[in-house]
Every structure is written in structure tokens, then in C-alpha cells.
Chains A and B, each alone.
Chain A
Amino acid sequence: MVRWHRKAVVTSAALALVLAAGACSDSGGKQEEQKADAGSGNVATTPRIKVALITHSKAGDTFWDIVRRGAEAAAQKDNIELQYSSDPDGAAQANLVQTAIDSKVDGIAVTLNKPDAMMPNVKKAIAAGIPVTVLNGGLDTWKQSGAIGYFGQDERIAGEATGDKLKQLGAKKVLCIVHEQGNVSLEARCQGIKNKFGVVENLNVDGADQPGTQATITSKLQQDKSVDYLVGLNAGVTLTAVQAAKDAGSSAKIGSFDMSKEMAKAVKDGTVQFAVDQQPYLQGYLAIDAIWLSKTNGNSIGGGEATLTGPSFVEKSNIEAVEKFAAAGTR
């Protein structure tokens, strides 16, 4: 019995190897990956320092992966050891800031999307002489924390720009798809669209559950035929909405917030009309670089005001320029 078993394993392993060797794909796959050209230049000669990047991301989120790539590119150039950590729970994220203080880091880049939970520890870090930069979230609160800079998008302004864009595109009724209940930034985006456009309805879906999201959007489109424009608040949800509109037989057009590889393709082939990009790579990069500049040359970026990294619209007219960076996972 055992011997037969072993034979079977060996045979099937050999067979698999042969199959794999003889089954090379002529297109696609890793062989076509473009190497992102980040940090292949020289490294700064400044002393090596340790900087923590602390976000509220869930594990395995594309958007935050791009932020992290930007941060890592800056860290590599600036001779910085980057320690990344994240927790979607406010109290736990605040405790990560405490952990960074305990670890005696030389700088902290942090998201302030949950300012009430985060503020005490961010202030504590600054009091301990650690320079702090804020990225992505916390536009209204970063100044009172004493941070040296803010790099992100004003979600309301981004929403309003989107509202204007929708007017210009001649939309009549817009559905704003909120994929995370309780996220203030997402609410601000929909509110911004409402401010400029008016006829907006919010739809709550569970972003962690793609099939559920698709079904919810489909049923909404079947129930309300007057919707002629969908706006998803992240790339994944928008691409799900594309599928849902197909299922519902709806002719509604689709716009998106945030970019990804697939989103670049969708904009190129016209299934998505536009994507509002807040340039996450830039947020991560600048948040780390600003700490280095402050440490090595006493500089501050933004003149005491927020440095806005968005909104920048990615559409058919400019997709050519963006596409290859999106494919490399940096836009």
C-alpha cells in the first residue's frame, strides 16, 4: 500500500514537471512584466535612519500596496530603513504609533483617517522629538497634531471635481457606491459629488464581498431604471459595478475613484469613462521623503498647508501616458 502510494507520488510529480516544461505560454505571465524603475539609482550618503509607515489598511489592499511602493522607493533613495505596519482598527493603529515610539524610530508617516483615536499618540510622538508626516487621510486635523506635512487628496474637493465632471458628461442620476460603512473619506466623496451635481443616491455595499456587491448593484439597477451613471469609490468595486451593469442590462455609464492595472485597461477600452486618481504612490513617496528632507536639511514641504496629490483625472485622452505605470503597479 505504502509502496504503491510512493510510486504514484513520484510518477505524478515527474508528469507535472514534464507538463510544466512543455507548456510555456507565448504571451502574458511574468515574462512580460516591466520592471518598475524605482530606486535603481544611487543611494543617498546621509546616515541610515529608521522610519515607520503606519496606515489603517486591511491586509492585501491594492491601493495601499501602491502607497507602500512609493514609500519604499523613497526609503531606498534616502538610505532609510522602512518599517511598515497597519491596522484597520482605530485603537490598534494608535497602539502601532506607540510601538514605533518604543522602537525609537527617527520618523513616522501616518494616516489620520481616524483622528480621534490617533491624535493622542501622534502628539506623543511629536513631543518625543520624532518628526511626523500625515498621508492620505486627516486633512482637517493634521495641523493640530503638529505634523510637518500632509500629502493626500481633499476628498470633498475630489468629489466636487467629479460632480463637475459628471455634469459635463451630461449625467442625469448618479449612484455613489459606498463600499465601507463608516469610512469618513468615502462619505466625503459622495457628499462632494452631491454638492456639485445634486441628483445622487448612495448605495451601501460590503467591499470585502465581491459577489454580494455585484448582486446588490445589479438589483439596484433593476429596481431604479433612471440611474445613468455609477461611481465606484475604489478600482475593485468599480470593476464589479461594470459587471453588475452588464447583468442588469443597464446602459448606465461608469466612473471610478482610484487606479489599478485593470482600471487602466478598462479606461482604455472604454468600459469605464474616467478614474479620479489621487496618486497613492506619490503620497507614500512624499510622506517618507519629507521626513528625510526635514532631517537632513530642515526643509518642510507645503508651506504649512496640505500638499494635494489629487484629484487628477485619468481618461481615454491621457490613458496612454498612465498605462505603463499602472501595469507596473505604481499608479
Chain B
Amino acid sequence: MASTIAAPADADDRVSARSIGARLLSRPEIGSLVGAAVILVFFLVTAEPFRDLNNAGTILYQASLIGVMAVPVSLLMIGGEFDLSAGVAVTTGGLTAGIFAYQFSVNVWVGMAVALVLALAIGLFNGWLLMRTGLPSFLVTLGTFFILQGLNVAVTRLTSGAVASNSISDMDGFTSAKALFASEFKLGGLTIKIIVVWWTVFVAIAAWMLLRTKIGNWIFAVGGDAASARAVGVPVKKVKIGLFMTVGFFAWFTGMQLLFVQNGVVQSGEGVGKEFLYIIAAVVGGCLLTGGYGSVVGGAVGALIFGMVQLGVVYAGWNPDWFKAFLGAMLLLATIVNLVVKNKADAR
């Protein structure tokens, strides 16, 4: 996936042409790719079901549950911001669509549209408050995180009298929406969930946008140094708010997947802690916590690593008590590899 940048027509003497190898090494996602390869080989050796190609569908699905959200979170982190409310916003999206459709007895698609508006509004609110107050995004989104967590449970109980939303599986539009968000198809012996396809599409679009368009350059610029970016005419405020709204859109999308894969029911307490998994995926993929550096593809590879480790431990039949410790070690290893490769590349 590493893109090679076409050399300018007439070579400028200030930029010397670099070898393909050096250019590859300087990509942010290269460390995570190496890490993913190592982990893949490791589990191929230790876990017998891992070798069955037909089980790759399960692993890809597990990775996509985090991977879809890792796309906007990677972009946001490259733009120099955090979103701690991303995990519960997913649940909010699913709940809103389900509750709205059920309470007003409208077509499921109407509920989904309302949820989308709300999700974008949450993103807008986060971004606006951040730019308005100048507070760190860590604090702003921490506030949003608590608000949403409380609203999820409170509003659900208020409307359905329980802590899960009422099922909308028998309502108009459910079947068509389910086909879009939570269906699966066979590819040879492989069962591919539709969310995996969407994930691939999203990664491709976001990676192209980041590397090939003006908006992508703006994202790098505002993450690297907002003041300088503003000085050269980058619309910092618009870019940052746009990034938060992108997270909102993806939270809505993942929420819809949650709603339809669970037969039209969402548990109101879910999603807490997920935001860190998205951030971890992005960081393993080479995004820096300080912003201005990273890649969307890396975030996808980070999610893949997460999925492989999560299920690899199960496939290998190990005691899952060790899973978290194993995961932590893997993450440290991956990030250290990232750092080493980056330093090597920079030194050239």
C-alpha cells in the first residue's frame, strides 16, 4: 500500500532522489506491517486453526470491529487531537436509531437518519468547543464521554423501561438496512462479513484523501503546527471540526453495524473503553500522540494486529487470563519497532 511519490519532472538540486528502499522505510506504517507479519507467523506456528484459510474471515471481522473506527481516529490523531468519546458515541448512534424508530413507529431508515444527524452534531460540538475554548481535546472529549455514557443509560431506561433498546427487527426497512450493514457472503470457503468490505473501502478512501489531496495536507499541517498552518492560510478551525465530525460519521456507521448485527437491540452500557482500543490501533500503526505524523493504513494494520492477537490466543487454546498481558507486550513491541524503523529512516 505504500505509495511512491512521482519524481518531479526536472530534478531540483535541493532534493536528492532517494532509493525505493529508503522511501519505503520512511513510511509511518512500515513498523506495524513488520509487527503484523511477525505476529502472523507466530500464530501460524502455534495455533493450528489459524492455518485454516477459511478462518481468516473471523479474524478480519474481529479486526474490523475496531478497524472501522480506527480510520477516523487515525486521521484525528494526525490532526493532533484525541477523541475519548468515540467508544460510547458508537453506542449512542445505535441506540438513537433503534429508540427513535421504535418510539415513533417510523421506518428504520428514518431512525438511522436521525442518528446520523445526532452523531455529526456530537462531532461538531466536540470540535466547536475545542476551538472555542482552546482546552485540550483530552478534556473536552472526556466531558462528552461522560455525558454520552450517562445519556445512553438514562434515555434508554426512560423510553424502554429497561437497559437495552426495544428490538426493531420486525419494522419496515430493517431487512434492507441489515443487508447493508450486517450481512455476509461466501468467497470460496471464506465467510466475509460486509463490514470488512466497508472497512477496506473506508481505508482506501481515507488513505487516498490523506496522501493525495489538499485536505490531507491540511490535516498534516494542523497536527504538526497549528499556528504555522494558520499563518499559511490553512483553515485550522474547519479542518479540526471536520475531523471530529468524521469521527461522528464513523461512530454512526459502527453503531448501525452494532444495531443490525444484534437483531435490532443495543445494550446501553456498551462501548466504554473502546475509545482506547481505537487510539491503540492508530498508535501501533505509526500515528504519533503529538500529531502531524501517521497513516490510515497503519491504523488498519494496528486493528488487524489487535484482532489477530485477540483471536490467536483463543485459537491456540491458551488460558485467556494471559491475554491482556500478552496484548500489552505485543503493543509495546510494535510501537518500539515503529520507533526504531522511524529513527533509522530519518537518519538516512
Contact = CB atoms under 8 A, between A and B. Distances in A.
B319 A84 contact: yes
Interface string A110-152: 0000101101100000000000000000000000000000000
Interface in B305-338: 310-311, 314-315, 317, 319-321, 323-324
Given A86-B320, A103-B49, A91 B261 contact: yes
A204 B267 CA distance: 16
Interface stretch (B5-13, B53-61, B109-117): B53-61
B163 A187 contact: yes
Contact of B258 (A59, A86, A91, A98): A91
A92 B314 CA distance: 12
Contacts of A117: 261-263
Nearest to A65: B321
A181 B163 CA distance: 7
B65 A59 contact: no
A59 B313 CA distance: 14
Contact of B317 (A83, A96, A183, A184): A83
Nearest to B47: A103
B270 A90 contact: yes
B107 interface: no
B62 interface: yes
B320 A180 contact: no
Contacts of B201: none
Q: By CB atoms of chain B within 10 A, which of A81, A84, A91, A102 has the most?
A: A102
A107 to B, nearest CB: 15
B314 A116 contact: no
A95 interface: yes
Contact of B268 (A86, A89, A103, A182): A182
Nearest to B307: A95
Given A90-B267, A117-B262, A180-B269, A85 B314 contact: yes
B269 A92 contact: no
| Residue of A84, A95, A120, A182 ringed by the most chain B CB atoms within 10 A | A182
B265 interface: yes
A99 interface: yes
A235 B217 CA distance: 55
A83 B61 CA distance: 21
A91 B314 contact: no
B315 A182 contact: no
Contact of A96 (B163, B167, B268, B314): B314
Interface string B281-322: 000000000000000000000000000001100110101110
A103 B320 CA distance: 16
B117 to A, nearest CB: 25
Chief secondary structure at chain B's binding surface: helix
Interface in B213-270: 258, 261-265, 267-270
A225 interface: no
A81 B153 CA distance: 40
B222 to A, nearest CB: 33
B164 A184 contact: yes
A287 to B, nearest CB: 17
A184 B270 CA distance: 13
Contact of A102 (B153, B264, B315, B320): B315
Which residue, B167, B262, B323, has most C-beta atoms of chain A within 10 A? B262
B170 interface: no
A199 to B, nearest CB: 19
Most buried by A among B163, B264, B323: B163
Contacts of B310: 92
B346 interface: no
B324 A59 contact: yes
A102 B54 contact: yes
Contacts of A187: 162-163
Nearest to B322: A59
Interface string B143-175: 000000000010000000011100100000000
A184 B49 contact: no
25 contacts: A59-B321, A60-B321, A81-B317, A84-B319, A90-B267, A91-B65, A96-B314, A99-B58, A99-B315, A102-B49, A102-B315, A103-B314, A104-B49, A114-B267, A117-B263, A120-B263, A180-B269, A181-B268, A182-B164, A182-B267, A182-B268, A182-B270, A184-B162, A184-B163, A184-B164
Given A85-B320, A95-B61, 16 more contacts: A60-B321, A84-B320, A90-B270, A91-B258, A91-B261, A92-B65, A95-B62, A99-B315, A102-B55, A102-B315, A104-B49, A114-B262, A119-B263, A120-B263, A182-B269, A184-B162
